[in-house]
Structure 1
Amino acid sequence: MPRFDLSPADLRVYRPEVAEPADFDEFWRATLAESRALAEVPRLTRVDAGLVTVEVYDVEFSGFGGDPVGGWFVVPAGAAASAPLPAIVEFNGYGGGRGLPHERLAWASAGYAYFLMDTRGQGSVWGTGGTTPDPHGTGPSTPGFMTRGILDPATYYYRRVFTDAVLAIDAVRSLAQVDVDRVSVSGGSQGGGIAIAAAGLSEGLVGAMPEVPFLCHFERAVGLTDRDPYQEIVRYLSVHRDAAATAFETLSYFDGVNFAARATAPALFSVALMDPVCPPSTVFAARNRWGADAAADAGAPVADIVEYAFNEHEGGAGAHWPRQAAWLAERLAERLAERPGA
């Protein structure tokens, strides 16, 4: 697909004003407090996945409203006898589930504790499936997840998913194999959008690594691309013609640009300049606002970005992981250097 968005030079300085509700922080403070009050200790079950260099655990932790959410926790073999490890919490792309543990071994093979969160209600579009239901009903919606509960932020689908993500970080930090001060988040597409939200709602992360992130700058995205999942919103509003103002007000509580502004950890983004699914301007809108609301004495965290000039939504694909690994190693070294007595 040819380039259809702003020029690369304009993208790098693109910093739009995105609608932000006056009660954004209070909405999320109350949402997280309600679900944290219902959280139970995560349950781990050792799984024989036919792997000898790593240990695999099936995890169930408490998500939104105390709902059980699944995930895979994978650590290097013998991790229980070692010092606590840095951890990666990864979120999945749209429509996919956590799949099978042997499908994602890179981070554990590199010496990290790795947690992959299942996305509630998803897992039946690609990959090898998911196992976490979404027990909450919504009003009328288009097929897919983008318009479920869209007329009220309290019922919107991603309120539950973003809460799951923050509580997944809480759960991982409670595990004996994990160094609580060296936890990072990552994900591609939807997973990148979830990682941005989790970074904006969590304290003390080492880093965030959103790849070609979805769920950013909704109002621009739905008018710029003709691809799903954003087109789910367009189809909904083409039928519910009087609902646009209400729908976009709801979406403002879930816009990655608003979460990005609240982030306190450094970030490594990726963007594909020919991406028709997550247009590059929507990615840069979040990246260019990263940490904008940071305390003046702390300064805004760094937000690096890797541009893939001739790629679509696959972005850097497998070529991007070595960049992430090198970038994260630097952030971990910086965190260790900050410790007393280092």
Structure 2
Amino acid sequence: MMMKKLLFVFLLALTNVAFAQNSPAPIKLVDVLLTPSHADWTYKTGEKAEVEVQVLRFGVPVPNVEISYEVGPEMMDAEKKEKQLLKDGTGKINVGTSKVPGFRDLNVSVKVDGHTYKSQSKLGFSPEAIEPTVENPKDFDAFWTEAVAEARQVDFDANLKFLPEYSTDKVDVYLLDLRTGWGKKRLFGYLCKPKGEGKYPVLFAPPGAGVKPVKPYTGFAEQGFISLTIEIHGISPLLDADSYKQVSSAFGDYMFANLDNRDEYYYKNVYLGCVRCVDYLCSLPEFDGKNVVVTGGSQGGALTIVTSALNEKVTALAAFYPALCDMTGYLHGRAGGWPHVFRADKQATMATPDRIKTAAYFDVVNFARRVKVPGFYSTGYNDHTCPPTSVFSALNVISAPKEIVITPISGHWRFGETNDRSLDFLREQSGLE
């Protein structure tokens, strides 16, 4: 038995050494650099766009290399597929233009020494003029006013459990679960409170997409907010990983569940749950009675805009690359927002009159129309998950004061500098600066 244990320890150590010796490189051996002729990657409709391409190995152009590239409207079939020989490792690609506001996508690939390397760049054409395709239902306000009023009739029945293992010398962390609707509808989340006497602004942080456990984040509380970070499916984040994985597999594609019925669609309870989370934060005795902010990205960005439109207590928001924007874009020959419910490959089964009608009551564009508080918004051009065409469809209809920060090179992620800027915005709006 002892020999087996020693052998196991030896093999484990050998594996760790091998891994350390073969850890993955943090950069690519060959880079495909794409440089648009406009520094901001943005053109006017009808203006021709050009992109310089460089294939670099060790930072030096690779001579006599052939690239393959495709050009076309964002998320649509390519209009042009061609090859080009770069004698000195550099060249230029004509991306063409767009006669209507939107984006064009350039995808480039190259094979060097048997290995394939890729890069992509999306260029915007008058994105500030993109108009949404989704219908704005006449009874939209009545539907949601009634739904919110009904949800607010339900007592929170909140449970708080102090979590010393997650708390710090500056922040107390609690596991919160509260009732957000009739019956057994509940949400879980982590409530983080700054230590010390006083009144604080509150911050609500809805999650990105998926069925996964959330982790406590004390950073907002360290910035001076009472914060609440939640999950949306009614599953305790304290479940062990294996149990959570088993529970998660039962949810499937929740974003499509009951989309043919506006009263039963999955996101109805989610939207109302977010409203009630803000209500709960505002009921805390430590709340300063005035400042309520919401922030999130992707699905969390969508829920940020929705919550800000539905809950009159919200005073400011910061949303990154929001999902669920202009979902019907695909039905009009252009990119639509996540979860891409009406994409060409799904239209045969999903694009029914009932689903299209229901989607309009949950599309973030229609909530963006109704935002009345200052907002910080940010997105990138290279995002395939929440395509910029769909995001600009929402941003362009917001009439409230807004600061929009575009980092064209970013995909479905944000730079730390942009995130810091959003926090500065929220702190300033909350009187913490």
1:304 pairs with 2:403: yes
Deviations 1:216-255 (A, max 9, x none): 1111157645996325876654335xx5221110000001
Q: What is the aligned partner in structure 2 of residue 89 from structure 1?
A: 204
CA distance in 1, matches of 2:363, 2:337: 18
Q: What is the aligned partner in structure 1 of residue 174 from structure 2?
A: 57
Instruction: Extract unaligned runs of 5+ from structure 1.
Output: 292-300, 337-342
CA distance in 2, matches of 1:232, 1:144: 14
SS where residue 277 of structure 2 aligns?
helix
SS where residue 64 of structure 1 aligns?
coil
1:319 pairs with 2:408: no
The 10-residue stretch of structure 1 (159-168 or 33-42) with the greater mean CA deviation from structure 2 = 33-42
> Which residues of 2 match residues 137-286 of structure 1 at below 5 A?
143-220=252-329, 224=334, 229-231=339-341, 237-239=347-349, 244-286=352-394
Return closer, same or farther for 1:27/1:226 CA change in 2, 3 Å cut-off. Answer: closer
Deviations 1:292-320 (A, max 9, x none): xxxxxxxxx2111111111111133x332
Q: Spell out structure 1 runs of 4+ moving beyond 6 A.
A: 128-131
1:21 Cα shift? 1.4
Amino acid paired to 2:195: A
Amino acid paired to 2:193: V
> Which has the higher Rg, Structure 1 or Structure 2?
2
Q: What is the aligned partner in structure 1 of residue 428 from structure 2?
A: 330
1:15 Cα shift? 2.9
Instruction: Extract unaligned runs of 5+ from structure 2.
Output: 1-33, 35-70, 75-101, 104-122
1:290 pairs with 2:398: yes
Structure with the largest fraction of strand:
2
> Which residues of 2 match residues 44-83 of structure 1 at below 5 A?
44-52=160-168, 53-65=170-182, 67-78=185-196, 81=197, 83=198
> How well do the aligned residues superpose, as a CA RMSD in angstroms?
3.1
1:37 pairs with 2:156: no
Amino acid paired to 1:105: T
CA distance in 2, matches of 1:331, 1:227: 29
Do the aligned partners of 1:200 and 1:262 also contact (CA within 8 Å) in 2? Answer: yes
The TM-score with structure 1 as length reference comes to 0.80
Deviations 1:109-162 (A, max 9, x none): 1121111121116799xxx7998xx9xx9xxxx941221011110110111100
CA distance in 2, matches of 1:16, 1:304: 20
The TM-score with structure 2 as length reference comes to 0.64
CA distance in 2, matches of 1:185, 1:226: 24
Determine which structure has greater relative contact order: mean sequence separation of CA pairs < 8 Å that are 6+ residues apart, divided by chain length.
1
Q: What is the aligned partner in structure 2 of residue 294 from structure 1?
A: none
1:280 Cα shift? 0.6
SS where residue 155 of structure 1 aligns?
coil
1:97 Cα shift? 3.9
Amino acid paired to 1:58: L
Do the aligned partners of 2:206 and 2:296 also contact (CA within 8 Å) in 1? Answer: yes
> Which residues of 2 match residues 100-139 of structure 1 at below 5 A?
100-101=215-216, 104-120=217-233
1:98 Cα shift? 4.9
Do the aligned partners of 1:205 and 1:265 also contact (CA within 8 Å) in 2? Answer: yes
Amino acid paired to 2:389: S
Do the aligned partners of 1:88 and 1:185 also contact (CA within 8 Å) in 2? Answer: yes
Percent of residue pairs identical? 26
Q: What is the aligned partner in structure 2 of residue 296 from structure 1?
A: none
CA distance in 1, matches of 2:307, 2:347: 28
Amino acid paired to 2:278: I
Do the aligned partners of 1:266 and 1:302 also contact (CA within 8 Å) in 2? Answer: yes
Return closer, same or farther for 1:232/1:315 CA change in 2, 3 Å cut-off. Answer: farther
Do the aligned partners of 1:221 and 1:278 also contact (CA within 8 Å) in 2? Answer: no
Deviations 1:161-207 (A, max 9, x none): 00000011001101122223101011110010011111111113221
SS where residue 32 of structure 1 aligns?
helix
Structure with the largest fraction of helix:
1
CA distance in 2, matches of 1:8, 1:152: 35
1:43 Cα shift? 2.6
Amino acid paired to 1:216: C
